[in-house]
Structure 1
């Protein structure tokens, strides 16, 4: 099933006409920034979505997750008219529509993984160059972990970061 894309302006009109806006991003992303009135139903909880038959507009950050998962989203809509916010919340914001931002919330887990992995690789390279070549192993270990995460879909670093004290509020 192909879901029709809606521009931010058309999405605003659909919402004003009664469409429900469903944010399929993770709860950590939704807590940090969201479109007012959007309901957070992450991809892994789509089976919990209850549609009343009215139109539904799905959105993510950039439109990639919604496009890749269009079939699953259409099925979750249960026969209701379903659409995708083209360009996601990024396009919504760029079009001048309001978002609710809570900078007190932690960064999204994947951004934390990118920062941590990058810092560990850089540290391993610098220590390997200036202290002892054995420190290159740190960079290799992080690289292997990222490859493993990409292949299996399981990221140990993300799971570890998710239970850190600064992330507990967003997960609750």
Structure 2
């Protein structure tokens, strides 16, 4: 388990020098994970962390655990969730974005192993933009009050920025193409158990 004196957040350069010491868990969606992940990272999406608690606890008993996402927000949430269960972990500050910006290597699976997909950020931008355009179109063609669809999306984006959360990403993460396959989860759990 991460020692009490161990940092709960590591910058990319710090994490890189100690990467061999960590069990790295990427909490992004499978589509985001295959777009590029830290070397040796296993993919357990944030909404599957609770189901993987025994395996994560076992990994933490063997050594330090580093949680990673795209920006650091989801991995911070995962750290808090695991801390509530008595499992100490660290989060990568700035996520894979900061890792790549520092020039560190991101791994991608072989072409035959990937599931085509967009990053969650791209999915959110596409969905929000589509809903805003739909609201504007409905306002022009059906009724002016339907402009509220666009206003609602704008308000949601502002709220998302202020709270560093994203309800739309949480909803999109539940779509079938963003869900991990059972075989992928089993494969991710095995290294956490030490096999």
- TM-score when scaled to structure 2? 0.62
Give the Cα–Cα distance (whole angstroms) in 2 for the partners of residues 171 and 140 of structure 1. 34
Kindly report the root-mean-square deviation, in angstroms, between the aligned alpha carbons of the 2 structures.
3.6
Per-residue CA distance 1:9-56 (angstroms, 9 max, x = gap): 22122222x311111122222122211210111222223141331111
Q: Which ranges of structure 1 fall in alignment gaps of 5 or more residues?
A: none
**Residue 95 of structure 1 pairs with residue 102 of structure 2:** yes
2:75 alignment partner in structure 1 = 66
1:9 alignment partner in structure 2 = 13
Give the length in aligned residue pairs. 157
2:131 alignment partner in structure 1 = 120
Question: 2:46 aligned to 31, 37, 43, which one?
Answer: 43
RCO greater where, 1 or 2, for CA within 8 Å and sep 6 or more?
2
| Cα distance, 1:7–1:32 mapped onto 2, change above 3 Å | same
Give the Cα–Cα distance (whole angstroms) in 2 for the partners of residues 22 and 76 of structure 1. 17
Moved more, 89-98 or 31-40: 31-40
Give the Cα–Cα distance (whole angstroms) in 1 for the partners of residues 168 and 99 of structure 2. 30
**Residue 30 of structure 1 pairs with residue 33 of structure 2:** yes
Retained in 1: the 8 A contact 2:31–2:115?
no
Deviant stretches of 4+, over 4 Å: 101-104, 141-147, 153-157
Q: Which ranges of structure 2 fall in alignment gaps of 5 or more residues?
A: 161-166, 182-195
